[in-house]
């Protein structure tokens, strides 16, 4: 083969095969039959094979022609998808953008970020749904889920927005009254504030410590599916809380809460989760890039 096949010739060949004839393909493409015949001859010369068997009544595909036909379909499809993706990268994002998030993260952090995103891209119609459960992006029609936690289904695509971890904390009044636990096992004897929120295993805390991952079963007189409610109970001195750094760092900084067993933590980064490559959707790509910049600039995680 001296020359690479022309893409237009491959397209003509595909139409001839599909229509089983030159005249039908010429009519569909808006070309003359003679031009179609010429392009097929040039393609056969370039490839060095006979693609079609021609009779006065019909055109049939040779064995080599069938192989070239399958390759042509893949090549033309790839070229089309390349063009679609490049176009999407430079297209102004528009249309409805449906985003899901958890109750606390969504209200306190995602909502303000989306307010700025809407100001920058007025052609977007943004809808935020806050849920106390994981959503099914495809079945429920969401473009994007902003979530906390590192366990993400392999059939989804995830991009990190910010580093985060869950830490143990309690109010000074509680620790003065009940004492400070010295080991993870001692948590079983304390009042623990349990959250049933999205991916939290209810009543079981899995934490990383000096010896690797450990688990402890915890109980307490108060539990809720809303993290902000439990956060307030913790400030009120009602028990020990396992909560994301982004949620409790202000309370730790001003002394309303203090760390408990600081050598233990639970990795829980903030992720953008979606179902298809970003190059195929301008609105999702712009949203993910903006959220990543927004969270990185405002919520840096300390090393200790």
The 10s digit of each residue's pLDDT in 277-287 is 776 788 898 99
* pLDDT over 70 percentage in the chain: 91
217 beta partners: 204
SS3 81: helix
Between the alpha carbon of residue 201 and those of residues 106, 215, 256, the distances in Å are 20, 11, 26
Residue 43 has pLDDT above 80, yes or no: yes
Whose tokens are 């893409």? That residue is 7
Pairing of strands 157-162, 270-274: antiparallel
Q: What is the DSSP letter of 201?
A: P
Please count the CA atoms within 13 angstroms of the CA of 117 that sit on its side-chain side.
28
pTM (predicted TM-score) = 0.64
Q: Which of 124-138, 141-155, 199-213 has the lowest mean pLDDT?
A: 199-213
Mean pLDDT of the residues in the chain = 87
Comparing CA positions, the residue from 273, 268, 267 lying closest to residue 291 is 273
Q: Which of 1-15, 111-125, 208-222 has the lowest mean pLDDT?
A: 1-15
């Amino acid at each position: 083969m001296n020359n690479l096949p022309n893409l237009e010739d491959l397209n003509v060949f595909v139409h001839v095969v599909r229509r089983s004839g030159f005249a039908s393909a010429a009519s569909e493409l808006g070309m003359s039959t003679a031009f179609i015949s010429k392009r097929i001859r040039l393609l056969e010369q370039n490839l060095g094979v006979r693609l079609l068997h021609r009779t006065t009544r019909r055109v049939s595909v040779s064995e080599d022609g069938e192989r070239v036909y399958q390759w042509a379909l893949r090549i033309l499809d790839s070229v089309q998808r390349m063009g679609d993706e490049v176009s999407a990268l430079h297209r102004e994002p528009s249309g409805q953008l449906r985003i899901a998030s958890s109750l606390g993260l969504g209200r306190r952090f995602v909502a303000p970020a989306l307010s700025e995103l809407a100001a920058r891209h007025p052609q977007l119609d943004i809808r935020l749904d806050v849920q106390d459960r994981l959503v099914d992006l495809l079945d429920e029609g969401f473009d994007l889920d902003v979530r906390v936690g590192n366990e993400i289904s392999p059939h989804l695509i995830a991009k990190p927005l910010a580093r985060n971890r869950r830490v143990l904390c309690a109010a000074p009044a509680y620790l003065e009254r009940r004492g400070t636990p010295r080991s993870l096992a001692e948590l079983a004897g304390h009042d623990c504030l349990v959250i049933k929120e999205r991916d939290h295993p209810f009543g079981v805390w899995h934490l990383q410590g000096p010896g690797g991952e450990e688990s402890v079963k915890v109980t307490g007189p108060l539990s809720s599916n809303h993290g902000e409610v439990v956060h307030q109970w913790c400030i009120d001195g009602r028990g020990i809380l396992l909560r994301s750094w982004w949620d409790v760092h202000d309370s730790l900084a001003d002394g309303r809460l203090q760390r408990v067993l600081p050598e233990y933590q639970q990795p829980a980064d903030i992720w953008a989760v979606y179902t298809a490559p970003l190059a195929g959707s301008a609105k999702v790509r712009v949203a993910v890039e903006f959220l990543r910049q927004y969270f990185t600039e405002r919520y840096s995680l300390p090393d200790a």
